[in-house]
Amino acid sequence: MKIVSKQKLNKKLFSKKMEMIPTRDGYGEGLVELGEKNEKVVVLCCDLTESTRSQAFVEAFPERFVEVGIQEQNMAGLATGMAMSGYIPFIASYSVFSPGRNWDQVRISICYTNANVKIAGAHAGISVGPDGATHQALEDIALTRVLPNMTVIVPCDVHETRKATISAAETKGPMYVRFGRADSAVITAEKSPFEIGVANILAAGSDVTIIACGPLVYQALEAARELAKSHKIKAEVINNHTIKPIDTKTLVSSAKKTKAVVTVEEHQIHGGLGSAVAEVLSSYSPVPMRFVGMPDLFGESGEPEELLEKYGMTKEKIIASVSDVIKNK
């Protein structure tokens, strides 16, 4: 596997010293940094201050934190009112509740108004684990990316979550940032580049393109390593952290080169990253595709690794999908 630029990846990646940190930690770090930089930033949370990592902001800037209680619908509206008064509200809950339960408020109050509200969705994906299907958000990318005015970001690790949080405050308009609960590989470095709407090519290849988002970018990189070693297949790996607006240029030029694409996400196959990529490629560069993600099912209780294994969001599944799609080139 040929790494495109050393800057884009963490030096400790694939080593014994590889760090494992939940992406949500980056949200807490980003908020505190923002709090210091921008007095217009305010934070709201629905009774999940610790687990969404809003706590760090509460301690640093108590006067700019609002405890909303278990009221996700109200929180979306409150934030709209605050945004209309010139503030930049970050609202946090679990993704199943926000933007899940309050989708109508996100649609009308936030997006139709084009209010400058940032929605932080924690505990997304099946890797939430033992809490079971009720708490595993697997539809949130679909729910948010259909909304006009909305930007949708799925950071791959803790550093990228911190950068996405900071960029959110600097970019006007509604934004959804999704992060996970479980420890996940620190893929990028503190100084790796991050720009909303610009996909990062992490590994260069010419036989197939693997387009991933979120913590599964690590599995995509692992798959590319093994494909290079055991299958002599050169896979290009793209970290497509911005689902909307999608980086058409990068995706199309890679697909034109490799002529086969596999997408990887911790989300329903229907309507998520894979669908977004397919919309772009079918218009500008139709190539055979395979989709790694949740196959139209609800999850269940279990450990994150067990669930990813059972529902087919693993390195092995990516390798099998690559072999299959290459046959159909």
Partner 1 sequence: MQPITDIKKLNKIANSIRQNIIKSLEQAKSGHSAGPLGMADVFTALYFNVLNHDPKRPNLKERDRVILSAGHICPVWYATLAEAGYFPKRELWTLRKLGSSLQGHPHFHSIAGVENTAGPLGQGISIATGMAYAIRYFQKSNEMVYCIMGDGEQDEGQVWEAVMFAAKYMLPNLTVIIDRNNIQIDGPTEEVMPLDSLKDKYEGFNWHVLEVDGHNIEEVIDACNKAKAIVERPVCIIAHTIPGKGVKFMEGKYEWHGKPPKSDEAREALHQLRTMGGKVSVIDCE
Rounded CA-CA distance 213/226 in Å is 19
| Between 102 and 321, CB nearer to partner 1 | 102
| Between 77 and 197, CB nearer to partner 1 | 77
Please tell me what DSSP assigns to residue 266: E
Out of 29, 33, 72, 236, which one is annotated catalytic? 72
Rounded CA-CA distance 280/244 in Å is 11
Residues 52/55/58/61 CA torsion (nearest 10 deg): -100
Q: Do 24 and 161 contact (CB within 8 A), yes or no? A: yes
| Between 76 and 276, CB nearer to partner 1 | 76
| Between 150 and 261, CB nearer to partner 1 | 150
Rounded CA-CA distance 182/178 in Å is 13
Q: Do 159 and 134 contact (CB within 8 A), yes or no? A: no
Instruction: Return residues touching partner 1 (CB under 8 A).
Output: 42, 63-64, 66, 68-69, 71, 73-82, 84-87, 89, 104-105, 108-109, 112-115
| Between 143 and 203, CB nearer to partner 1 | 143
Please tell me what DSSP assigns to residue 295: -
Rounded CA-CA distance 257/2 in Å is 16
Write down the residue that tokens 């640093």 correspond to. Answer: 60
Whole-number Cα distances in Å, 271 to 114, 187, 265, 281:
23, 26, 11, 15
3-state secondary structure of 173: coil
State in angstroms the smallest separation of the CB of 170 from partner 1: 20
177 CB-near residues (< 8 Å, 6+ apart): 27, 118, 119, 120, 121, 153, 154, 155, 161, 164, 165, 168
Whether 195 sits among the annotated catalytic residues: the reply is no
Written in H, E and C, the secondary structure of 86-101 is: CCEEEEEEECHHHHHH
264 CB-near residues (< 8 Å, 6+ apart): 210, 211, 212, 213, 216, 217, 219, 220, 273, 292, 293, 313, 318
Question: In the structure encoding, which two tokens stand for residue 210, read together?
Answer: 């693997």
| Between 118 and 241, CB nearer to partner 1 | 118
3-state secondary structure of 126: helix
Catalytic residues: 72
